[in-house]
Structure 1
Amino acid sequence: MAANTKQIGRRYPIDLNADLGEGGVNDAALLHIITSANIACGGHAGDQASMCQTVTLAKQCNVLIGAHPSYPDRANFGRQTMELSPNELLDSIVDQISALKQICNTLEVKLHHVKPHGALYNQAAENSDLGQIIIDAIKLVDPDLKLMMLAGSSLVQQARAQGIEVIEEAFADRAYLANGALASRRLVGAVIENPQTAMKQVENIINSQPIATLDGKSVIIKATSICLHGDNEHALAFAQLISRHLSQPT
């Protein structure tokens, strides 16, 4: 994957990722802009056909590929808590990552990282028991896989302490709270709709400057990857704007 590392360094000062394979209409266009893709692998969305299609396109675009496992809850798109035993959740996450890894192996492309989705992502960021399940799943499938997780969260240090390389992620299209957590989607303004607001947030994150939070304060987010949600109706417009800005010579 050395060519992709070179591509990231040439195109942008920071990795730009998107959650794909979730039924969004802009996946193919986004893959020509982003540098990492998190592909739904059967929990909240995705099936064999969508995974094969998205991995194939990602390979063609020289984009790093990550698994995007979640609670196995298609009805709620993985955005609500599920009451599963630790073993049930571990088995589900392992199955999801393994399904995408098998497709990557078949298509002769490397699976690079794992990024949890939705409620699992938000809860595991600070819940060490859930975080451990994700760490254990990565170790069972491939301990060389990186973990993409909310920048500054407890799981970042928990994973690093156990030898997992972490990609610290921030968001272009989601509002934050002053404690560094993402604002709940139930709150008005939690999803950023204005492209200039998203661009300003990205600029401030890259430059380690404070960003305005939904609770009227500010926070500095230090990250190595910026996420755009592929199912956001503004995802492609945001990606194009951010790409143009980040591609400008400094």
Structure 2
Amino acid sequence: MELSRDVEIDSDVERERTGTVTNRDTIDLNSDVGESFGRWELGDDAAILDLVSSANIACGFHAGDPTTIGRTCGWAADRGVRIGAQVGYRDLAGFGRRFVDASVRELTDDVLYQIGGLQALASATGGRVTYVKPHGALYNTVVHHDDHARAVIDAVVAVDPNLPIVGLPGSTLLALAERRGLRTIREAFADRAYTPEGTLVSRREPGAVLHDPAVVAERVVRMVTEGVVEAVDGSDIALDIDSVCVHGDSPDAVTLARAVRDRLGENAIRVASFT
């Protein structure tokens, strides 16, 4: 799929022209990809990568195998899409959606291992890892779990302190990362329901995942232009974000991402990477 020139992903050109990329007229759109395993395929990564500006690529612990991961890195590099390490608990059977009671040392080493593996595969395809984002249960845990948040941060600092960390606004992860001098990227979710407290509704609850493209797209426009999202109780939650995620493992992921991108374009909001 060829993107039209007026919505082309090219954050470097925009920076050279204006000196910065602001959320008033641009937003990063990211998606989880590289989550297939062997002959088992999950999501249409090639199609998603035509629509997003950042790719959260699985690192083998919650999903993905080396061939799948390397191929996805190549697709991202070919499209000029930024590559991020989506690190998770060592939980292939549970797709990384189950809490693992690891020590700080164990989790730090696991995250180090994942980032390093993705760096090698990305480099081999002409790409490079430019940020880190926790996945699944780890993402939700580091919203409030000091030790596991610190483990992720320790790993990033050890690998490359210039790597930004993506997380939920107001989370322990981002607060501790900022104290360590790391750049933080505040993220919202296009296709997930929110509690009144600003956290994600558990996937075990009905209505946790949204599927209507029109509803999802309009929610994203409000996130970007008004800085709010509607919670499940009907209240509006304030959001200050740098990136929006569309989950790549949903059956309707491509349709949702295209609807979001089209609606953003209708509102003169350009999709561009935060890096």
- TM-score, L = length of structure 2: 0.85
The letter for the 2-side match of 1:14 is I
Question: Is 1:231–2:231 an aligned residue pair?
Answer: no
Contact (CA 8 Å) 2:218, 2:263: kept in 1 or not?
no
Contact (CA 8 Å) 2:96, 2:136: kept in 1 or not?
yes
Counterpart position of 2:110 = 92
Which whole-Å CA distance do the structure 2 matches of 1:26 and 1:48 have between them?
Answer: 17
Pick from 57, 61, 75 the counterpart of residue 39 of structure 1: 57
* Structure 2 unaligned regions, length at least 5: 1-8, 16-20, 37-41, 269-275
Give the Å deviation of 1:210: 3.3
Give 3-state SS (helix, strand or coil) of 1:115's partner: strand
Counterpart position of 2:125 = 107
Counterpart position of 1:149 = 167
Question: Is 1:13–2:20 an aligned residue pair?
Answer: no
Which whole-Å CA distance do the structure 1 matches of 2:131 and 2:239 have between them?
Answer: 21
Give 3-state SS (helix, strand or coil) of 2:26's partner: coil
Aligned in 2, Cα 1:165/1:189: closer, same or farther, shift over 3 Å? same
Which whole-Å CA distance do the structure 2 matches of 1:218 and 1:107 have between them?
Answer: 43
Give % identity.
38
Deviations 1:215-245 (A, max 9, x none): 4432121111000000011110011111112
Number of residue pairs the alignment of both structures matches = 248
Deviations 1:182-216 (A, max 9, x none): 11111111101111221121011102343221244
Contact (CA 8 Å) 1:4, 1:64: kept in 2 or not?
no
Give the Å deviation of 1:5: 3.2
Counterpart position of 1:71 = 89
Runs of 4 or more, structure 1, over 6 Å off, are none
Which whole-Å CA distance do the structure 2 matches of 1:117 and 1:64 have between them?
Answer: 17
Structure scoring higher RCO (CA < 8 A, sep ≥ 6) equals 2
- TM-score, L = length of structure 1: 0.93
Counterpart position of 1:29 = 47
Which whole-Å CA distance do the structure 2 matches of 1:51 and 1:120 have between them?
Answer: 20
* Structure 1 unaligned regions, length at least 5: none
Pick from 163, 185, 195 the counterpart of residue 213 of structure 2: 195
The range that moved more, 200-209 or 16-25, is: 200-209
Aligned in 2, Cα 1:52/1:211: closer, same or farther, shift over 3 Å? same
